[in-house]
Structure 1
């Protein structure tokens, strides 16, 4: 029996019976993330694990340096089961920091650098984080100073760790921590550390419609198995090379850019930000085999007119959230759509799958133990094969419970333990297998290039503006990000409607992350309502979509950019 070695109060664990079944079937991997890295380093010591424009780390180097850093974290007083906030970009230092935490049993709270007081403060309180990792050179915003202020406000945070810059009096520079151990002394420090496949690996965050992200525990053996499943689905093996330019701490970044590298020996090319020209150069130079996009990469690629100048013949597949047919025609390589949700389901299709599957669905699951049902929205009633409805799922990696949040858990699960995705899909049965096409969302949120914005959270902040009597936030279509936020507002008598810069400044002063702020404001006298008297957000979304289309047509007629 594989035991839970570091149980955490507030985390719901899989039953022993199910855990053993998943280990036997291969849906879980009987190892830890640190153990998987050590095995890959023994098999491929001199193979590049990560390649960036700044440096390349081989598997041996990555394994040794993460051992040294993990030992230093333990020396600070951190221990298995402790939590650490993460606000880091896509760099080698981020890979070192998160992998060192995994080896030390420290649980990253996988936040983003764009979060501010509102999000970080509540996440620290909910997770009781003991450390805070920040990147000094991420942007013009001073994350080091910000983290110092958060540490002063929250008693649980005892350690500030800074990458790519000076830590100041209150913190520790990552480079200094790396220098505290030799490889031998580090491995002696880590030798008897109790961490197992069923222990919590990370706290991932789920976007939602009603407030701050909910915390989703993910587990060592489960997460490795989840990644192995999608790698099979895309025909990725140890000879593959993946390119990644989006956040590394996201669930997608971890599953697509980190776990296959650890488990299979895949080489990952990391980019700190989206740069289409540089991405194409790196694909050509490093003979990348697989590209992945959950945000605005595909639209930028489609708009890039010089793509024919680059040798993309090494690419076996480029996967994106949508528009795979247009992207394939433009790039001249096989492309497929994908789907992912942090609550534990990944869908995709490989290059050899039928064109209809790759271009007109988001694919299928690569895990035989996943169960997917299509249900009538708002009910538990299962619809017949081939139906359109809410996709619900249950399996080896699916959510059992949000961390210490029974109310949100009850809302997220059906009576028989399936996760409600909140997404409408159509099931297509082809050659005896089910594939799922995304049709839209049921939940009140906005997906801005992969970042989820909860409408009710932002509406609550906007409503504090002295000029605004009421507000509703809706998604408006965008060719690059898929969706952006539009705020419909009712202005109080005697006040002027705020401009976008004024609104962003107001919301930022409240501690709201900038990417959540509305990017358009529409003033109305009243909101449309449904027949039962509720605000009709469907009508508001349709209205702004029609207005944008009209503005675009007028701009085209004038020969200018909309």
Structure 2
């Protein structure tokens, strides 16, 4: 079996062209089913996009119109994407966790003409936020969408945007990444930068028309649009869940025969907990009997989790990718990779045209197996930032993009992520990898989840602090027990955390990443423990 499967993937010179190509190829095949058992075929999806496009055109949306939207993971969100693609608008999907400050900054910098928001819910009043922001931005219209989009006659639509090549593709997307700066950073993408990532992912997972993909995270994330591209290219179908729930979502995915159980560590932990609860209740059958892989991304996986998922739930285990808003899914594991590669790496360059440069902390090019900052050139790399002043520092002297992540490549080209530059804990001048410690602690029976952070220390510069979540049915691990465990695993004394904090739940954001920034803020002023 070839590592990559590409023969079955459709291609086009734009997102709208891909929607049309898929509709022509498999018009009556399932495109998506949701948690309410609503279904859409590819033909129905295309037709709904056309009607919505006509509706938006009647409201003044046309080629180049900057449209910001913040909607849950609904059918209507995917239809909105297709409608705006048909019109050639510039889309700015916004994560639903953003509030006045972030959305206001984005709307001003992006020049939003139309802001599309969901109705209010018990947690937040989105329409009120929209009204507040519009009061200071006279040229911005706000539309509240409660799963109903504007409707019009497709016969009134102007011609579709022209098909393009990667070299001349216009910017059609701006995704904002919170990063580590005070303001979000707007990464400029084309349909074809996103398509390069989507096709790479589909080829590694060997997606085809039989696949059912769990869409369980915010569709406004760059990964949501990436998965849309993968589905359109391969003919697979979505199982759409607007809000992930650890108890109810696995039931929905099981009911609809999930084969690709996305989307990262937090989700995979929930699936594993559901499988274990099933077994504890006396049912030893697999929760997801059709599952082939557990695609992951957003953050490196604990290797132990891959093994547990594979052994207890079936399929090949976690098949993960590595990417970021600026350069989505630049590496991807493949279904035929070795178990060692699946457990410990994030796969190879995806697509194969991706080029890496790893640079050590001392500034020299890293050799095979040597840790360095990951820098990248890739067909899916963004066209720089909307704020052009950020571009100079974003790229190195050879034109490679600074990811800020640390890792190493082996002789076969597999990439292992070892941490973030900002996660390197410098204790008495020695670099300590947070991920190395996290992977070891994750394997302890008493620990369900873990984050290791650096805290300012007057004596050592920084000290390592382990923040852990206790596993169900276990007693919290004590500091001395943690120390002895890590010693027993062969961790050098200088790397053993000098502080231990136990939380009910490790905080993660909407896409499943641990909120280390928040944890650092919480514990930055904590006193040095006396032992």
User: TM-score range, shorter-chain basis?
Assistant: 0.7 to 0.9
For residues 319-398 of structure 1, the aligned pairs below 5 Å read 319-321=295-297, 322=301, 323-336=305-318, 337-346=320-329, 347-377=331-361, 379=363, 381-398=364-381
Number of the residue aligned with 2:290:
314
Query: Do structure 1's residue 302 and structure 2's residue 292 form an aligned pair?
Result: no
Structure-2 separation of matches of 1:230 and 1:241: 15
**Per-residue deviation, 1:311:** 4.6
Alpha-carbon distance in 1 for matches of 2:312, 2:266: 16
Look up the SS of the partner of 1:68 in the other structure.
helix
- Structure 1 residues 187 and 225, CA, compared in 2 at 3 Å: closer, same or farther? farther
Report the CA distance shift for 1:546/1:369 in structure 2 as closer, same or farther (over 3 A): closer
Shift of 1:358: 0.3
Change (3 A) 1:378 1:57: farther
Shift of 1:378: 6.4
1:313 is displaced (CA, Å) by: 2.8
Q: CA deviation at 1:111?
A: 1.1
Say which SS state the counterpart of residue 193 (structure 2) adopts.
helix
Alpha-carbon distance in 2 for matches of 1:370, 1:438: 16
Conserved? CA contact 1:93–1:164, under 8 Å = no
Contact 1:67 1:187 in 2 (8 A): no
Asked if structure 2 preserves the Cα contact closer than 8 Å seen for 1:281 and 1:310, the reply is no
Q: Equivalent residues in 2 for 1:471-550 (5 A)?
A: 483=451, 527-529=456-458, 536=461, 538-539=462-463, 542-543=464-465, 545=467
Structure 2 residue corresponding to 1:405, chosen from 357, 375, 388: 388
Shift, 1:561, TM fit: 8.9
Aligned length: 437
Partner of 1:242: 213
Distance 1:279-1:225 versus aligned 2 partners, 3 A rule: same
Shift of 1:228: 0.5
* Residue 109 of structure 2 is aligned to residue 126 of structure 1: yes
| Residue deviations 1:314-364 (CA, integer Å, cap 9, x gap) | 111112241322322231221133322122142221222101110011111
Structure 2 vs 1, CA of residues 530 and 292 (structure 1 numbering), >3 Å: closer, same or farther? farther
Q: Which residue of 1 aligns with 2:261?
A: 291
For 1:252 and 1:484, how far apart are their aligned partners in 2? 26
Per the TM alignment, residue 414 of structure 1 is displaced from its structure 2 partner at its CA by 1.0
Instruction: Answer yes or no: is the 8 Å Cα contact 1:555–1:561 preserved in 2.
Output: no
Q: Which residue of 2 aligns with 1:162?
A: 144
**Equivalence map 1:68-217=2 (5 Å):** 68-136=51-119, 139-157=122-140, 159-164=141-146, 174-175=148-149, 177-178=150-151, 181-182=152-153, 186-191=154-159, 193-194=161-162, 196=164, 198-217=169-188
| TM-score (norm. length: structure 1) | 0.71
- Deviation per CA, 1:81-101, whole angstroms, max 9, x where unpaired? 121122111111111112211
- From the superposition, tell whether residues 444 and 131 of structure 1 become closer, same or farther in structure 2 (CA, over 3 Å): farther
Judged with a 3 Å threshold, the aligned counterparts in structure 2 of structure 1 residues 190 and 240 are, in CA distance, closer, same or farther, namely farther
C-alpha distance in structure 2 between counterparts of 1:332 and 1:192, whole Å = 44
Of residues 61-70 and 346-355 in structure 1, the stretch that sits farther from structure 2 once superposed is: 346-355
Deviation at 1:240, TM superposition (A): 2.0
Corresponding residue to 1:45 among 3, 27, 33: 27
| Cα distance in 1, alignment partners of residues 159 and 352 from structure 2 | 35
Corresponding residue for residue 32 of structure 1: 14
Could you list the runs of 5+ residues in structure 2 that have no partner in the other structure?
1-7, 279-283, 425-440, 482-501, 505-531
Task: Give, in whole Å, the separation in 1 of the partners of 2:449 and 2:402.
Answer: 25
SS in structure 2 at match of 1:434: coil
CA apart distance, 1:70:
1.1
* CA contact 1:45–1:58 (8 Å) conserved in 2: yes
Would the alpha carbon gap of residues 242 and 528 (structure 1) be closer, same or farther in structure 2, given more than 3 Å must change?
A: same
The question of 1:282 aligning with 2:252 is answered: yes
Relative to structure 1, the CA distance from residue 282 to residue 394 in structure 2 (aligned partners, 3 Å threshold; closer, same or farther) is: same
* CA distance in structure 2 between the partners assigned to 1:27 and 1:390 by the alignment: 33
Cα distance in 1 between the residues matched to 2:383 and 2:448: 34
SS at match of 1:439: strand
Moved more, 91-100 or 274-283: 274-283
**Once the two structures are superposed, what CA deviation does each residue of 1:102-122 show, in whole Å capped at 9, x if it has no partner?**
111112212112211110111
Moved more, 116-125 or 147-156: 147-156
How many Å apart are 1:45 and its aligned residue?
1.7
Partner of 2:238: 268
For the Cα contact (< 8 Å) 2:405–2:417, is it kept in 1? yes
Whether contact under 8 Å (2:31, 2:42) holds in the other structure is yes
The answer to whether the 8 A contact 2:448-2:468 is kept is no
CA distance in 1, matches of 2:55, 2:401: 39
